[in-house]
Structure 1
Amino acid sequence: MKKPLLAVKDIVQITGITARTLHYYDRIDLFKPTHLTEKGYRLYDRSSLEKLQTILFLKEMDFSLKEIADILKLTRQEQKQILKKQSQNLLSKKQRLETIMVALDEYVSGNDISHLQIFNSSTVLPLKEQYANEARFIYGETKAYKVYNETLENLSVDEKEKRFSDMEEIYKKIASCVDQDPSTDEVQRLIEEWKENLMHFMTCDAELLACIAHTYKFDARFKSYFNQYGNEDLADFLYSAIMRNINR
């Protein structure tokens, strides 16, 4: 004949949770024993096991213990409404985790962080928008930046993609020359090509070019960005090649 009451060790064996967890649930009044023996041992009737299984189910559904305590006080119909809403919350989290997994795989594969779509469904601004805001904060009052911004706004989405794609191709070409002297004709020809592409967005004088070169060399994010086109020396190589171009 089965025992009418279950001891802590029985609950542990049936559910797989720890005795420590049971004691904690008792202490916070979430799941209390049906009886206490004279020696203070906790005993549970079999009907209370259903309540514990409901608690464990809700915990797996990502509810906090406080939320679970509140849910247990509701009617079954009210509980269903909350679970329907939680289902949508979990679906959003699933989609968010899938985005994170894709971004993680891309980053591990060598893509620069600025290309990742990690913040697109977040309260944090996407990285490209962060970079644009940073540039606006630093250079927003300069004539060159205003020209750049106006030009960018007038370009179609396809035109923007083509310009950025062209620039990426130039970086790849320059990356293939990192073993050369930055002042060689081939490298300088590529720097001129880089400048020409940049001129589609703004008028670049020597001072602005030097500022861009300095950013490439000393901003860790740009160093990381250029790593995807070549090795860790590319940012420094670009800096040297641009400065040689300015001083020619």
Structure 2
Amino acid sequence: MKKRLLAVKDIVQITGVTARSLHYYDRIHLFKPTHITEKGYRLYDRSSLEKLQTILILKEMDFSLKEIADILKLTREEQKQILKKQRQALLLRKQRLENIMTALDEYVSGNDFSNLHIFNLTSALPLKEQYANEARFIYGETEAYKVYNETMDNLSVDEKEKRFSDFEEIFKQIASCTDQVPSSDEVQRLIEEWKKNLRQFMTCDAELLACIANTYKFDARFKNYFNQYSNEDLADFLYNAIMYNINR
């Protein structure tokens, strides 16, 4: 029996690939018809169908059309080596996507951006380390920063977490007082608690406290961090409460 050639509509019906895609593959010389009739119809033999199926598999494996064209020119053994490398690349991408999904879930659950481990599989440093480097860059020459650095170096990981959780608890308490004025006794008591915690790390004079207050108010990262604790603008409320405490 004479081998039957397949028309574009047959290929479409068998594979699900659109006619537009077949025309495009022809145009870029990736998958050309076996024969073109006098009327310009594209026809394909059975071996062409096998080639198209290989192209579709490689495309699903996340190879670009240019990469697929190059792979089809290789021997079977050379193709296997390329596929092994692609598997490693896809595994890394899978791990990265799982890491991103975990970070998204944590953020939706209420975790602050700075606590997310979203940079674990990238060259970027974790946010807390970036903040530490930024502080070193800005305040590294000040006496207060040197004291802070020495104190932090002497703390264990658990002690550091305890100190930071103490700060978080104070911020939550202040957030519950935003219906009061920043100068109220309760808010100022909490600001004193905040200062007491700060003094465990560094010497806090009025200039440094004002600098911290400004950072809370005008740095978008801090505003986002504080505002997770309140529907009000907690960053602005903290700024006003700290400045009142300094100037009273």
Q: TM-score range by the shorter chain?
A: over 0.9
Deviations 1:25-46 (A, max 9, x none): 1122111111111222211101
Asked whether the 8 Å contact 2:178–2:232 carries over to 1, the reply is no
Question: Which SS does the other structure have where 2:38 is aligned?
Answer: coil
TM-score by length of 1: 0.93
User: Are 2:17 and 1:17 aligned?
Assistant: yes
Structure with greater contact order relative to length (CA < 8 Å, sep ≥ 6) = 1
Counterpart in the other structure of 1:42: 42
Counterpart in the other structure of 1:112: 112
Deviations 1:208-243 (A, max 9, x none): 000101111111111100122222321111111111
**Displacement after TM superposition at 1:105 (Å):** 2.6
Question: Which SS does the other structure have where 2:85 is aligned?
Answer: helix
Unaligned segments of structure 2, at least 5 residues: none
Asked whether the 8 Å contact 1:223–1:232 carries over to 2, the reply is no
Counterpart in the other structure of 1:67: 67
Aligned pairs (5 A) from 1:152-191:
152-191=152-191
Further displaced range: 153-162 or 142-151? 142-151
**How many Å separate the matches in 1 of 2:40 and 2:124?**
52
**Displacement after TM superposition at 1:190 (Å):** 1.0
Counterpart in the other structure of 2:245: 245
Asked whether the 8 Å contact 1:112–1:225 carries over to 2, the reply is yes
Unaligned segments of structure 1, at least 5 residues: none
Counterpart in the other structure of 2:230: 230
Asked whether the 8 Å contact 1:191–1:245 carries over to 2, the reply is yes
Deviations 1:110-143 (A, max 9, x none): 4322222111211222222222222222222222
Coordinate RMSD, CA, aligned: 1.7
Deviations 1:34-90 (A, max 9, x none): 111122221110111111111111111111111111211222222222222222221
TM-score by length of 2: 0.93
- Aligned-partner residue type, residue 169 of structure 1: E
> Among the aligned pairs, what percent are the same residue?
85
Deviations 1:181-215 (A, max 9, x none): 21222211111111111111111100000010111
Counterpart in the other structure of 1:90: 90
**Displacement after TM superposition at 1:168 (Å):** 0.7
Asked whether the 8 Å contact 1:100–1:118 carries over to 2, the reply is yes
Further displaced range: 196-205 or 75-84? 75-84
Counterpart in the other structure of 2:31: 31
**Displacement after TM superposition at 1:167 (Å):** 0.8
Counterpart in the other structure of 1:215: 215
Q: Which of structure 1's runs of 4+ aligned residues deviate more than 6 A?
A: none
Question: Which SS does the other structure have where 1:228 is aligned?
Answer: helix
Question: Which SS does the other structure have where 1:96 is aligned?
Answer: helix
